[in-house]
A = this chain, B = another copy of it.
Amino acid sequence: VTGRSPVAHRPRRADGQRNYDAILTAATAEFTAHGSQASLGEIASQAGVAIGTLYRHFPTRATLIEAATRDGLTSLLDYADKVSAAGDPVDALTAWMSRAVDYFSTFRGLAQTLTESRNGDNALSETACAELTRCGVRMLEAAQATGRIRADLTAEELFDLLGAAAWVRETSQPGHDGSVRLLAVMIAGIRS
């Protein structure tokens, strides 16, 4: 690997830690309200720090997005274990896909960041990206082993489906969520 992605700066002083937390809280609120393109100046302002402090802790927008979605990713990975232990691998896969679309839709623009990361465009850290990929591969292969899911479906294609469904949700008008029906069509389409 030539140039790995920048990572959020871990503070070593108490005031640094306080600012780090305040920025993360403000970022979560702003991303939720205005999507991944929320103004960094506004985030710094809401956190009560100068813009340089934000850049010190989070050198790129992607590091901030990753930190703001870390808990959601952990939760998704835990869910995969839980639903895998429960029983049928195909049911587990479809339940996990629905949950993954929720995660991809944490805020507007996240699906694009995640998909671009998988395709190597700067964006998120390799570790976060690899955790998610390994989880998806595991779910898919277990389901394919039953013979009821198309054997020629790749993990890359599975993640394309998830990103596409999340995109539909975030582009839909607020009232109606088009991703539910879309996911149903997809799940029907990946059966053998």
Contacts and interface: CB of A to CB of B under 8 A. Distances in A.
Interface of A: 112, 115-116, 119-121, 153, 156-157, 160-161, 163-165, 167-168, 171-173, 178, 181-182, 184-190
Contacts of A181: 157, 160
B157 A164 contact: no
Counted per complex, copies of this chain come to 2
Given A164-B164, A164-B165, A167-B163, A157 B185 contact: yes
Nearest to A188: B189
Contacts of A186: 185-186, 189
6 contacts: A115-B168, A153-B185, A157-B185, A163-B167, A163-B171, A188-B189
Contacts of A121: 173
A168 B163 CA distance: 8
Contacts of A189: 184-190
Contacts of A173: 119-121
A177 B157 CA distance: 10
A14 to B, nearest CB: 41
A157 B180 CA distance: 10
B190 A178 contact: no
